[in-house]
Amino acid sequence: MNRNLTTKAYSWLLYFTCFSLPLFAPHWHGKVIAALGVVWVLQVKWSTVIPKLRNRPFFILVLGFIVLCAIGLTYSDNVGYGTSIIESLIPLVVLPMIIFTSDALDDTAVVRNSIVAFVAGVMTLSLASLFFISRNLWDPVHLQSNLVLANERIVQIHPAFLSLYISLCLFFLVDYYFPLRSADRSKMGWLLFGVVVLTGYLVWLNSRAGIFSFICAAVFFLAYRYQGRFRTMGLVFLAAVVVLICVLPFSKKRFIESPLKVLNNEVVDHSDPDVFPLTNRQEITRCSFSLLKGKEIVYGYGTGDGRDVLKNCYTERGLTELAAKGLDSHNEFVAETHRHGLIGLAVLIAIFGYMFIYAIRTKSALLAAFTVLLATISLFENILSAQKGTTFIGLIAPLLFVYSEQIFARHKHNSAV
pLDDT number for residue 204: 77
Q: Which of 121, 130, 106, 115 is nearest to 171 (CA)?
A: 115
pLDDT number for residue 318: 87
Residue 71: band (very low, low, confident or very high) from pLDDT cuts 50, 70, 90: very high
Q: Which of 286, 199, 319, 210 is nearest to 254 (CA)?
A: 210
Q: Please tell me which residue, 144 or 300, carries the higher pLDDT value.
A: 300
Would you list the DSSP string of 216-230?
HHHHHHHHHH--HHH
Q: Is the pLDDT of residue 248 over 90?
A: no
Q: What amino acid is encoded at 359 in this protein?
A: A
Residues 210, 212: Cα–Cα separation, whole Å: 6
Q: Please tell me which residue, 6 or 158, carries the higher pLDDT value.
A: 6
Q: Which of 172, 72, 70 is nearest to 121 (CA)?
A: 172
Cβ(172)–Cβ(366) below 8 Å: yes
pLDDT number for residue 363: 94
Residue 133: band (very low, low, confident or very high) from pLDDT cuts 50, 70, 90: low
pLDDT number for residue 138: 46
Residues 219, 368: Cα–Cα separation, whole Å: 12
Residue 154: band (very low, low, confident or very high) from pLDDT cuts 50, 70, 90: low
Residues 377, 390: Cα–Cα separation, whole Å: 13
Cβ(308)–Cβ(78) below 8 Å: yes
Task: Give the SS3 label for residue 363.
Answer: coil
pLDDT digits over 351-396, tens only?
999 999 999 999 999 999 999 999 999 999 998 887 788 999 999 9
Task: Give the SS3 label for residue 172.
Answer: helix
Q: Which of 346, 312, 348, 306 is nearest to 328 (CA)?
A: 306
Other Cβ atoms less than 10 A from the Cβ of 269: the count is: 10
Q: What amino acid is encoded at 399 in this protein?
A: L
Residue 264 sits at φ, ψ, to 5 deg, of -95, 10
Q: How much of the chain exceeds pLDDT 90, in percent? A: 54
pLDDT digits over 224-237, tens only?
999 988 899 899 98
Cβ(210)–Cβ(376) below 8 Å: no
pLDDT number for residue 358: 97
Task: Give the SS3 label for residue 406.
Answer: helix
pLDDT number for residue 114: 97
Angle at 226 between CA 107 and CA 369, to 5 degrees: 65
pLDDT number for residue 24: 87
- Cα dist from 219 to 90, 196, 281, 305, whole Å: 32, 18, 26, 37
Q: Is the pLDDT of residue 292 over 60?
A: yes
pLDDT number for residue 150: 54
pLDDT digits over 295-314, tens only?
889 999 999 998 899 999 99
Would you list the DSSP string of 110-155?
HHHHHHHHHHHHHHHHHHHHHHHHGGGTT-HHHHHHHHHHHHHHH-
Residue 338: band (very low, low, confident or very high) from pLDDT cuts 50, 70, 90: very high
Residues 80, 73: Cα–Cα separation, whole Å: 9
Task: Give the SS3 label for residue 41.
Answer: helix
Q: What is the mean pLDDT of the chain?
A: 87
